[in-house]
Amino acid sequence: MSAFPMPEPQSMKPQRGGNNTDRPRLGPMTLTLLILVGIGAIIYAASVVWTEILWFRQMHSVRIVLTQWIAHAGLFVFGFLVAAGLILWSLNYAYKHREASTRGQASATLREYQKALDPVRRIAFWAVALFLGFTNGANLANDWQTVLQFVNQTPFGKTDPQFGFDIAFFVFTMPMLNLVVGFLLKISILCLIAAFVVSYVYGTVRLLPRPHASKPARLQTGVFAALVSFFIGANYWLGRYDLLTQDGANIDGALYSDIHATLPAHSILAVISFLIALLFLVAAFRGSWRLPTIGVAVTVISGVIIGGAYPALIQQFRVTPNERALESEYIQHNIDATLAAYGLDDLEYTNYDAATSAQPGQLREDSESTSQIRLLDPQVITKTVQQLQQSRPYYGFDSGMSVDRYTVGDERRDTVIAVREMNLAGLSAEQQTWVNTHTVYTHGYGVVAAYGNSLNSDGLPSYWEQSVPSVGEMGDYEERVYFSPNAPYYSIVGAPEGSDPQELDYPDDNVQGGQVATTFTGDGGPSVGNVWNKLLYSIKFGSTDIFFSSQTNSASQILYNRDPLDRVAKVAPFLTLEQEAYPAVVDMDGDPSTEKRLVWIVDAYTTTDSYPYSQHQSLSSSTVDSRSSQVGEYVRAETINYMRNSVKAVVDAYDGSVHLYQWDQEDPILSTWMKIYPDRVEPLSGISGDLMSHMRYPEDMFKVQRELLTSYHVTNASDFYAGGDRWRLAEETSTAVSASSNASQSGGVSSGVTAQPAYYLTMQMPTQETAEFSLTSVFVPGGESKREAMAGFLAVDSETGNEAGKIRDGYGKLRLLALPSSTTVPGPGQVQNAYDSNETIARQLNLLNQADSQVIRGNLLTLPVGGGLLYVQPVYVQGTGSASYPVLRSVLTAFGNQVGFAPTLEESLDQTFGGDSAATVANNAGGETAEGDDTSNTVTQTAQQRLNQALTDASAAMQAGQTALSSGDWSAYGESQKKLNDALARALAAQEELGQSTGVTSGSTDTPQSGSPLGSPGADATQSNG
């Protein structure tokens, strides 16, 4: 016996559970850290998800975000489960039947792969399935809008000209069918690849030396190959319908070769694919791959010959020699569909034989148009308003000025209006603390409004609403501006009743401390009155101050997403939005006893790129012009072929509430979304009469329409094909003239070619009975000739009326004046050239354009009056200093080949029309002078008259000097120089008097800066806080 007894056999067996001391255990520290990380992750997720719900709940739009999230999640889960489940099943099925055939012998190399794969096979299969499931689910979730629109679609009531289907089939059903077929085709291909790879690695599929597959492998790959072939055939079949919405080289939609060659080819290829799918199924059960292999080869060859070569041969030898005759039918389809899709089918087309000679009294019958000629260019004059109406550095007018119309007294007047927004950049570095920027300086204050067609005697805007607090004709309205395009990122406002106000309301030198405080009392943001919400928003905005600040209280709200466009985009994710919102002070409820509201109005569109035969249009190229450098941020699709201004959105500037009104009662796309989001879009009847009166025709839609009309003003297919009457948009001419350049050499057009913007103005078209608020644009001949003669003038009636819940008859009527090519009517470029080449105008511009000032030519407006076309362009003068601002000094006018240049519109028109235009114009001196003026209008008018006379004398002296110099008469030349010096001295004296009367001084002394006879405000100009 051994000295060491052997253990019993059972003692050799491992103990169940093993040695507990060998297992890694989670210590208290590790467990605590894991719990903290989990809690932190939950809190961070809540700062994203729960704050979003809080915001939508405050906006009464929780259904919007929940519908979107549920649709996203539902499609993701569906796509993930289908893709991951089928791919995992395909992998496991192939592996499970790896030994089903004794002939499935793997090579040595493949056996090495098997050995490497076996230990991690289960993990690898799951990883591949989960990854592909996740990617396919995520891609499917992105198409949530497609699915919801398909389920809730609304018929258009119109059919396509080829198949006779309702347009809704192409807009709603086809995207869904393409989505489903594309998803299933992708999954089938992935399953086929997965099955083949596993079967090949484990030897149940062999390619060499002789192709072989086991029965289970043959069955699996055959079925999936049949599915791939079937879905390829379905793609071909759907492609027949996609031909009607495809892009073309010049004409979109299906043309002759598409209908007579490509469409039949797609049908044949679809049938072939379906037959090949059947052959794969037969092969999967019978074991012969010969027929499906031949079928695949036939499909490939057929695709090349039938799908490619045949349509190309038809195009080359049948269509090209007879293109005009064969394509006319389909071009007409394109014309008709394009006009209908973009709302151009009701265009009023008029041949306009414009007069080119200007006669005295010619404008006598056009008083309604000439009396409302807008002399204030909103883009130019914004800097003037900023300087004179800013009040304090922390205010600004960064959103610019908008053109609108208001009833002032008993008269309807075109108005330029701007909102005084909060500008935190105007605070000093010491003032920019967290408390100041987020709890004290929280809102802007009031609006500034000026008559568009008249100025005061100093060449400045004639305000009818101004100052802080507001003074003028607007009446009582809520002036506080918490929501605006340039509002602070976020603000914390609100306090319990009876608490001392903490927010700056507005400056007032008459109260202690120089400012009035206020407390926000609206419902504008989620509550941060509890610890949980404060914590979430501290994380969301990355600021511990929100959590620890004593400025927050039980009634505190946090205001964010304050840009009106942001707010509309979040509650209406299905809409494309206008580039800019515009402000209006309106009676929202129709009750005169209640306070008016300052609101932002946003035009919103429904669009699609699937309207059959309609021409596709790029929003970026169509809506960008010289004053809009980029497409709007909230664009659902860059390329479209259908557009409707279906919604007018209104955002309250005080509490941020959003109202969406159904503007287009017949738009099927909006009707579809209203089924998805019931009660979100309010009926038209909810618009009050005052709010209705401030609605207008949307600018971006008009830009798209005018871009199309460069070609689609021709509605006959044969003429359209010939292309002999193509137009283009006129180039911009309203640019600043460099102070150092000679005015006679300034072309007025920037080096970069940009389109002239559309202009809002009140005018009367020849076929209208009265003048109406309109949006206008002009066309010049297209092609490579670069002629700048006038080709067409487009105007749309933008007057909506003032009846509650009812749009005025005539609103949206597009009228196009087509000018005959036989008569040359100057276009904007030629008119600008006429200004620059006129010696008298060039000399006077030289006097204005001195070293310390520059001339700015404002918007070049075009009006169809006097039987022709009248051009009006305001001329501003601005100093070169940082504090300088434009002042209107003269007006350029043109009619035919006659031009005028004078200090007032009336004088300029009289020059153009032989001494007496008989035009009725606004009284330029009808407004008040700038706030703080000590001099009466009589004095400034007299000084202005002396300045105008001095400039006229200086111009005459310069002309006399040039004549004397050319003839060698030195005595006369010397006399003219004395007269010139005398005239300049009188101009400087008059300018000095004007500067004193307006409270403006130039330079550091009391005399105007040298070389500035026009007296533009100098670099160190100061002004009162008006």
Task: Write down the pLDDT at residue 532.
Answer: 95
For 763-786, what is the mean pLDDT? 92
For 295-312, what is the mean pLDDT? 88
For 104-131, what is the mean pLDDT? 81
* Whether pLDDT at 264 is above 60: yes
Terminal C-alpha separation, the chain: 119
For 900-914, what is the mean pLDDT? 93
Q: Cβ(866)–Cβ(914) under 8 Å?
A: no
For 502-516, what is the mean pLDDT? 89
pLDDT, tens digit (0-9, with 9 covering 90-100), for 980-992: 777 777 776 666 6
This prediction has a pTM of 0.85
Confidence of residue 206 (pLDDT cuts 50, 70, 90): confident
Tell me which residue has tokens 């103990």: 15
In the predicted model, what is the mean pLDDT of the chain?
86
pLDDT, tens digit (0-9, with 9 covering 90-100), for 966-984: 676 766 767 777 777 777 7
Q: What is the DSSP track for 614-657?
A: PPPEEHHHHH-BTTB-S--S--S-SEESEEEEEEEEEEETTT--
Confidence of residue 735 (pLDDT cuts 50, 70, 90): low
Which has the higher per-residue pLDDT, 782 or 174? 174
For 404-412, what is the mean pLDDT? 92
Cα three-residue angle 584-590-595, rounded to 5 degrees = 65
Residue type, 203: G
pLDDT, tens digit (0-9, with 9 covering 90-100), for 2-39: 444 555 554 444 454 455 555 667 778 888 888 899 99
Task: Write down the pLDDT at residue 973.
Answer: 65
Non-local CB neighbours of 597 within 8 Å, separated by 6+ positions: 477, 478, 585, 586, 587, 588, 652, 653, 654
**Cα torsion for 993, 997, 1001, 1007, to the nearest 10°?**
20
Task: Write down the pLDDT at residue 701.
Answer: 97
Please name which of 460, 590, 469 lies closest in space to residue 994, comparing C-alpha atoms.
Answer: 460
For 1007-1016, what is the mean pLDDT? 29
* Whether pLDDT at 753 is above 70: no
The sign of the torsion formed by the CA atoms of 278, 284, 289, 293 equals positive
* Whether pLDDT at 997 is above 70: no
* Whether pLDDT at 1008 is above 60: no
Distance of alpha carbon 65 from alpha carbon 52, whole angstroms? 8
Confidence of residue 944 (pLDDT cuts 50, 70, 90): low
* Whether pLDDT at 97 is above 60: yes
pLDDT, tens digit (0-9, with 9 covering 90-100), for 666-692: 999 999 999 999 989 999 999 999 999
Give strand ranges (E) for 619-771.
639-640, 642-652, 658-662, 681-682, 727-729, 736-737, 759-763
* Whether pLDDT at 952 is above 90: no
Non-local CB neighbours of 60 within 8 Å, separated by 6+ positions: none
Confidence of residue 933 (pLDDT cuts 50, 70, 90): very low
Task: Write down the pLDDT at residue 740.
Answer: 31
Task: Write down the pLDDT at residue 410.
Answer: 86
Task: Write down the pLDDT at residue 525.
Answer: 96
Task: Write down the pLDDT at residue 784.
Answer: 78
Confidence of residue 919 (pLDDT cuts 50, 70, 90): confident
Confidence of residue 1021 (pLDDT cuts 50, 70, 90): very low
Tell me which residue has tokens 């491992």: 14
How many other CB atoms are there within 10 angstroms of residue 722's CB atom?
Answer: 12
Give the percent of the chain with pLDDT over 70: 87
Tell me which residue has tokens 């100098």: 1018
Q: Are strands 658-662 and 681-682 parallel, antiparallel or unpaired?
A: parallel
* Whether pLDDT at 212 is above 80: no
For 206-215, what is the mean pLDDT? 74
Which has the higher per-residue pLDDT, 955 or 619? 619
Confidence of residue 1022 (pLDDT cuts 50, 70, 90): very low
Q: Name 772's bridge partners.
A: 763
* Whether pLDDT at 280 is above 80: yes
* Whether pLDDT at 66 is above 80: yes
Number of H helices, E strands in the chain: 29, 36
How many other CB atoms are there within 10 angstroms of residue 970's CB atom?
Answer: 10
For 455-483, what is the mean pLDDT? 93
